[in-house]
Amino acid sequence: GEDVEQSLFLSVREGDSSVINCTYTDSSSTYLYWYKQEPGAGLQLLTYIFSNMDMKQDQRLTVLLNKKDKHLSLRIADTQTGDSAIYFCAEYSGGGADGLTFGKGTHLIIQP
Amino acid sequence: DSGVTQTPKHLITATGQRVTLRCSPRSGDLSVYWYQQSLDQGLQFLIHYYNGEERAKGNILERFSAQQFPDLHSELNLSSLELGDSALYFCASSPSPSYEQYFGPGTRLTVT
């Protein structure tokens, strides 16, 4: 079955760039997503990328996709305290499942 | 604010009881998905409805059921509740199955 893996924690200093990594196993993934969850809140869709793209940039966010290695990353430039949250990688492959398959989430910790 | 609403925000009930969670999708979205978020299982896809019809099932227990009404709101029914059903339940909506999913704020269910 599908599997999405992320490291559990990432600690960065305020103002630095954060890079959150994700690997997935389903080669038929068509869309890959990054969601953000703040404490006590729902999941906020940050960005997504189609599997036929290599990169997508949206303001401070850059998504890189290496389809050969099934590796996805999210770079947050100039990390701020408001970026402190759990970041989930998710993939959608359609077919019979339809739901998203999520990783366990990466806790981004910002040091002053 | 994603435009997806869920009620109630919190629910506390006893083992063996039955509860109903409600979700209203974003205006114009025909797809509604239900997910369960727990500490041990992470985010798991439960079920997907599209324009009133069940489209796909994920890891949904037989004690759980859902429906989508003509006005497109959806309800998730959980019966014979067990302690292990305590979790955050999210619904998400999208215009159609292959589009990005927008999540509601969730319902926190506590079974005592």
Name the residue among B90, B98, B100 with its Cβ closest to that of A94.
Answer: B98
pLDDT per residue as tens digits for the range A88-102: 999 987 765 578 999
pLDDT the model gives residue A106: 97
Q: Is the Cβ pair A30, B98 closer than 8 Å?
A: yes
Distance from CA of A101 to the nearest CA of B (A): 7
pLDDT band at B97 (very low <50, low <70, confident <90, very high): confident
pLDDT the model gives residue A72: 95
Strand partners, A111: A13
Mark A24-43 as b/e (b = at least 16 C-beta within 10 Å): bebeebebbbbbbbeeeebb
In chain A, residues with a C-beta closer than 8 Å to the C-beta of B93 are none
User: Average pLDDT for residues B32-44, to the nearest whole number?
Assistant: 94
User: Average pLDDT for residues A27-33, to the nearest whole number?
Assistant: 84
Strand partners, A68: none
The answer, yes or no, to whether residue B98 has pLDDT greater than 90, is no
In chain A, residues with a C-beta closer than 8 Å to the C-beta of B101 are 33, 45, 100
pLDDT the model gives residue A27: 77
Distance from CA of B28 to the nearest CA of A (A): 18
Spatial neighbors of A51 by CB under 8 A, at least 6 apart, are A29, A30, A31, A32, A65, A67
The answer, yes or no, to whether residue A1 has pLDDT greater than 60, is no
Nearest residue on chain B to A104, alpha-carbon basis: B42
Q: What is the full DSSP assignment across B34-78?
A: EEEEETTTEEEEEEEEETTEEEEE-S--TTEEEEE-TTS-EEEEE
Strand partners, B20: B77
A83 secondary structure, DSSP code = G
pLDDT per residue as tens digits for the range B62-96: 999 999 999 999 999 999 999 999 999 999 999 87
User: Average pLDDT for residues A35-57, to the nearest whole number?
Assistant: 92
Name the residue among B56, B58, B105 with its Cβ closest to that of A42.
Answer: B105
Written as six digits, the tokens of B17 are 């009881």
pLDDT the model gives residue B95: 87
Alpha-carbon distance of A93 to A91, in angstroms, equals 7
The answer, yes or no, to whether residue A17 has pLDDT greater than 90, is yes
pLDDT the model gives residue B99: 75
pLDDT per residue as tens digits for the range A55-112: 999 999 999 999 999 999 999 999 999 999 999 999 987 765 578 999 999 999 999 8
How many of the other CB atoms lie within 10 Å of CB of B14? Answer: 9
Q: Are A85 and B42 in contact (CB under 8 A)?
A: no
Name the residue among A30, A90, A98 with its Cβ closest to that of B55.
Answer: A98
pLDDT the model gives residue A97: 59
User: Average pLDDT for residues A16-23, to the nearest whole number?
Assistant: 97
Spatial neighbors of A62 by CB under 8 A, at least 6 apart, are A55, A56, A74, A75, A77
